[in-house]
Structure 1
Amino acid sequence: MDLFNNLLLGFQTAGSIENLFFCLIGVLLGTLIGVLPGIGATATIAMLLPITFQLEPVSSLIMLAGIYYGAQYGGSTTAILINMPGESSSAVTAIDGYQMARKGKAGAALAIAAIGSFFAGTVSTFLVAIFALPLTGIALQFGAAEYFSLMVVGLVSSIALAHGSIIKALAMVALGLLLGLVGTDIYTGAPRFTLGIREYADGLNFVAVAVGVFGIAEILRNLENERTREVLMAKVSGLMPSREDLRAIVAPVLRGTAIGSVLGILPGGGAILASFASYTVEKKVSKHPEEFGHGAVAGVAGPESANNAGAQTSFIPLLTLGIPANPVMALMVGAMIIQGIVPGPNVAAEQPALFWGIIASMWIGNLMLVILNLPLIGLWVKLLTIPYYLLFPIIMAFCSIGVYSVNSNVYDLYAVAFFGLLGYLLLKLRCEPAPLLLGFVLGPLLEENLRRAMILSRGDPSTFVTRPISAGLLFIAVVVLIVVFLPSVRKKREEVFVEED
């Protein structure tokens, strides 16, 4: 009964005219940036963070959430029509989706992707609602030692699921943690690593770092390496899949939803990993594995369901524990902090309308995406013809204005420029920037809980291994680190993330 009442509160909150409007704006923006390859949900949300400062907390978070799962839909459109995934989680969809489009079944492929995504989104939203309160209750029992160990698990998992070299991912986490130390010591009040610039006494501006590392760096990379896009300009028709196709997608959609719902919770790249895992499973269980790579329906339905389910369930650790599961969730943490909300288990008790409003908006947003996306495919196709050299200068100007508007601090613009160049350099060195952002967000929280736990234990470090939950979490972190360094696992990671190279 409590679940019903909570969901009713959520739908009342998300169903207000204002929140419906921002949900619509979010899913449309998400689809748009998912359609335009090279921008991505992370960069877009980073760019829009300054705007959220002027909005109500519920409205801003509903809009940002809509951008995230809307991008999963939009990414499939470019994957199918031009063989270029707008989102990395849609890379697998391109394998068979584009082949279906070349055979004149682009409409059916797009409809299958939309159906699978909507079903997966509905199921995973329901799972978020079911598990949110129990996990929040458990989290309320956590002390400083448990939170420290939990964040260690999160950072280690982000290393394990990062693209490319494990050593480079570890270095990115360390760099993020160091950047998080800039500012004023939380206990002594002494300035640290501020270079004598008093504007950095409160630490580096999260928005400036995020916009630089993800937004500006991505723009520079895409301007340097624009790829030729063969857009299928022919009219997309036959949006209703055949009965045979509908029968064929039932099992892949169910399996993809299950895989994505579980893997989406993992810190790092759960939605990306889920789409690859789903494709592998479908190919192994298929009676005709030779069809994969040549337009297999299951090769579209399974991964699309998995990545959308993963996108939704990644909200579980954010809403219940205040721990981001991926860079987008880290940006959501930043948005909450901008609004004066302390992420964590207390949000459900202190601000139930916000907590349940976000959950309810996920289902509403998924419904909007199904209703709006298919009729607007012609528009998305035309947008693909916009030259990058016209699009990106406008985005860079918008980023700079937005970042400056948060604090009216010119040093934030210097930070954007610096981290934009740093992010570009990291991309050239094949270093994944996602662990850096997670380290930057979790660093201050990690330090605070570490020092608090040591103060409570009177300087005894054994408190982290004598408390059962803390010891269990640290054990998981050690096991994950050992496993990812095993030669067979390292080889498998390279195969999974080969498209990012």
Structure 2
Amino acid sequence: MEFFQHILLGFETAVSLQNLAYCFLGVLVGTAIGVLPGLGPTATIAMLLPITYGLQPEAALIMLAGIYYGSQYGGSTTAILVNLPGEVSSVVTCLDGYQMARKGRAGTALAVAALGSFFAGTVATVLIAAFAPLLTSFAFEFGPTEYFSLMLLGLIGAVVLAHGSLVKAIAMVLLGLLLGLIGTDVNSGVQRFTFGLADLTDGIDVVGVAMGAFAFTEIIRNLEKREAREILINKVRGLMLTRSEVREAAPAVLRGTALGSILGVLPGGGSLLGAFASYAVEKKLSKTPERFGTGEIKGVAGPESANNAGAQTSFIPMLTLGIPATAVMALMMGAMMIHNIQPGPGVMTSNPALFWGLIASMWIGNAMLVVLNLPLIGLWIKLLSVPYKVLYPAILIFCVIGSFSINNSVFDIYVAAFFGLVGYVFSKLKCEPAPLLLGFVIGPLLEENFRRAMLLSRGDGTVFFTEPLSAIMLAMAAGLVLLLALPTIRKEREQVFVEEE
């Protein structure tokens, strides 16, 4: 009974005129960003964070969440029609989606992607509503010792389960942790790594780091690329699925939803891990694996369902434990901190309208996306034809205005520009910026809980191993590191990185 009261509270919050408008705006912008290759939700949310200063917390988070899961829908449109992943998790969709479009089945591919994503998003939202309160109740048993171990497990998990070089990922996390230490120490009042600059007394704002490392860097990277887009405009027809197509795609949608929902909760999982895993599973289970890569409908249905389910279940650790599973979730935590809301188990009790309103808005947002995507295919095709040389100056101006508006300070523009250049150098070195952002956001919380634990234990470091929950989580972290030593796992990790590139 209490569960239904919470859901009712959520819908009362989500269906207010203001929140409905921002939900619609979020999913519309998210779809457009997903359609446009080279931006993605992380860069977009980083750009829009300054706007949330003037919004109610519920409206801000509903809009940002809509951008995230909306981009999963939009990414499939570009993958199918142009053979370019509009969003990273849509890389796999290119393999069969574009081949379906070349065979005149673009409408079928777009329809199965939209409907599979809607089903997966709806199921994932139910899972959030069902399991989030249980995890929140469990999290209230945590003290500073357990929180430190949990955050350490989250960071290691994000590194191990992500793609690319392990050494580079660890280096980026450590750099993020160091950047998080800049500013005034809360306990002693001593300034750390400020180099005598008054602007660094309060530390670096997460908006500047995110906007530079993602938005500015993406602009520079995409200006290097040649525009070569073959858009299959005249072949978008047949947006209604036949019964045989539904029967063929349904099992893949169910498996993709289940797989994406589970992997989305893991640190570093999100939508990308689920999409790749779903494609591998469908190809493994298929009686005709040779058809994959030539226009197999299961190669679109499974990954598209998995990436949307994973995008939404990645909210679970952020809302309940205060641990961001992905870079986008780290930005969502930043948005909550902007409004003086401490992410973690206290959110559900101190801000129930925010917690349940966000969950209810996901149901509404997914319904909006189905209504938006298929009828507006023509609009998205026209958007794809807009030259990058027109888009990027406008995006850059918007970024500069957003950076300045954080504290009405030119210094924040310099910070964003600096991290834009640094991020570009990192991209050339094949270093992903997501671990850096995770380390930057979690770093201060990690330090705070470590120091609290040491104060309570009077300097006894063994407390992290004598407390049962803390010891279990540290053992899990060690197990993840050992898991990566397996040759098969290491090979798969490198293969995912190569395919995404």
- TM-score by structure 2 length? 0.99
Per-residue displacement from partner, 1:164-210 (whole Å, max 9, x unpaired)?
11000000000000000000112101000011111111110110110
> Which residue number in structure 1 is paired with residue 45 of structure 2?
45
CA contact (8 A) 2:317 2:324 kept: yes
CA displacement 1:125-157 (0-9 Å, x = unmatched): 000000011100010110001000001011101
Letter in structure 1 aligned against 2:256: G
Displacement of 1:401 after TM fit? 0.4
Within 5 Å, give how 1:231-246 maps onto structure 2: 231-234=231-234, 236-246=236-246
Matched residue of 1:497: which SS? helix
CA shift at 1:68, angstroms? 0.1
Q: Which amino acid aligns with 1:420?
A: G
Deviation of residue 12 (structure 1)? 0.8
1:54 equivalent to 2:54? Answer yes
- CA offset digits 1:386-410 (Å, max 9, x no partner): 1111111110110110111121111
Deviates more, 1:483-492 or 1:261-270: 483-492
Shift of 1:226: 3.1
Residues 20-31 of structure 1 correspond to what in structure 2 (within 5 A)? Answer: 20-31=20-31
2:438 maps to 1:438:
yes
- State the AA in 1 paired with 2:61: L
Question: How far apart are the structure 2 equivalents of 1:314 and 1:307?
Answer: 11
Residue 37 of structure 2 aligns to a residue in which SS?
coil
CA distance in 1: counterparts of 2:23 and 2:426, whole angstroms:
34
Separation of aligned partners in 2, 1:79 and 1:373: 14
**Deviation of residue 227 (structure 1)?**
4.0
Cα offset, 1:269, TM superposition? 3.4
Give the CA deviation at 1:229: 1.0
Tell me, yes or no, if structure 1 residue 169 matches structure 2 residue 176: no
What SS does structure 2 have at the residue aligned with 1:431? Answer: coil
For 1:216, the equivalent position in structure 2 comes to 216
> Does the CA-based 8 Å contact 1:162-1:432 persist in structure 2?
no
Q: Deviations over 1:397-446 (max 9, x none)?
A: 10110111121111111101100000000001000110000000000000
Distance 2:227 2:166 in 1: 28
Question: Distance in 2 between the 1:492 and 1:36 partners?
Answer: 28
CA distance in 1, matches of 2:477, 2:186: 27
In structure 2, what is the equivalent of residue 284 of structure 1? 284
Contact 2:209-2:416 at 8 Å conserved across structures: yes
Measured against aligned partners, the alpha-carbon deviations of 1:354-403 in whole angstroms (never above 9, x if no partner) come to 00000000010000000111111111011111111111111011011011
Q: State yes or no: 1:294 paired with 2:294.
A: yes
Q: In 1, Cα distance between the equivalents of 2:114 and 2:260?
A: 16
Relative to the length of structure 1, the TM-score reads 0.99
Match of 1:423 in 2: 423
1:80 CA drift (Å): 0.5
The residue identity in structure 2 corresponding to 1:451 is R
Deviations 1:247-297 (A, max 9, x none): 101110110000000000011133111111111111111122111111111
Q: Which residue number in structure 2 is paired with residue 397 of structure 1?
A: 397
Distance 2:374 2:69 in 1: 16
Q: Distance in 1 between matches of 2:221 and 2:255?
A: 36
Give the whole-Å Cα distance in 2 for the aligned partners of 1:468 and 1:344.
Answer: 21
Shift of 1:242: 1.4
Equivalent residue of 2:133, what SS?
Answer: helix
Q: Give me the identity figure in percent.
A: 64
Match of 1:247 in 2: 247
Q: CA deviation at 1:7?
A: 0.4
Residue 35 (1) aligns with residue 41 (2): no
Distance in 2 (CA, whole Å) between partners of 1:5 and 1:250 is 33
Q: What is the alpha-carbon distance in structure 2 between the residues aligned to residue 99 and residue 21 of structure 1?
A: 37
Give deviations 1:446-468, integer Å, cap 9, x for gaps.
Answer: 00000000000000001100000
| TM-superposed deviation, 1:235 | 5.1
Distance in 2 (CA, whole Å) between partners of 1:485 and 1:59 is 44
Aligned letter for 1:425? V
| Separation in 1, partners of 2:410, 2:137 | 43
Match for 1:409: what amino acid? S
Runs of 4+ aligned residues of structure 1 deviating over 2 Å after TM superposition are: 485-488
Aligned counterpart, 1:266 = 266
- The residue identity in structure 1 corresponding to 2:130 is I
Matched position secondary structure for 2:324:
coil
Q: Are the equivalent residues in 1 in contact too, given 2:30–2:68 (CA < 8 A)?
A: yes
Corresponding letter in the other structure for 1:258:
A
**Rounded Cα–Cα distance in structure 1 between residues aligned with 2:176 and 2:163:** 17
Compute the RMSD of aligned alpha carbons.
Answer: 0.8
Task: Give structure 2 stretches of 5+ with no counterpart.
Answer: none
| Count of aligned residue pairs for this structure pair | 501
Report the counterpart of residue 371 of structure 2 in structure 1. 371
- The answer to whether 1:101 aligns with 2:101 is yes
Pairing 1:401-416 to 2, within 5 Å after superposition? 401-416=401-416
What is the Cα deviation at residue 488 of structure 1? Answer: 2.5
For residues 343 and 90 of structure 2, the distance between their equivalents in structure 1, rounded to whole angstroms, comes to 29
Unmatched 5+ stretches in structure 1? none
Letter in 2 for 1:299: G
Residue 16 in 1 paired to residue 13 in 2? no
* Range 457-466 or range 386-395, more displaced: 386-395
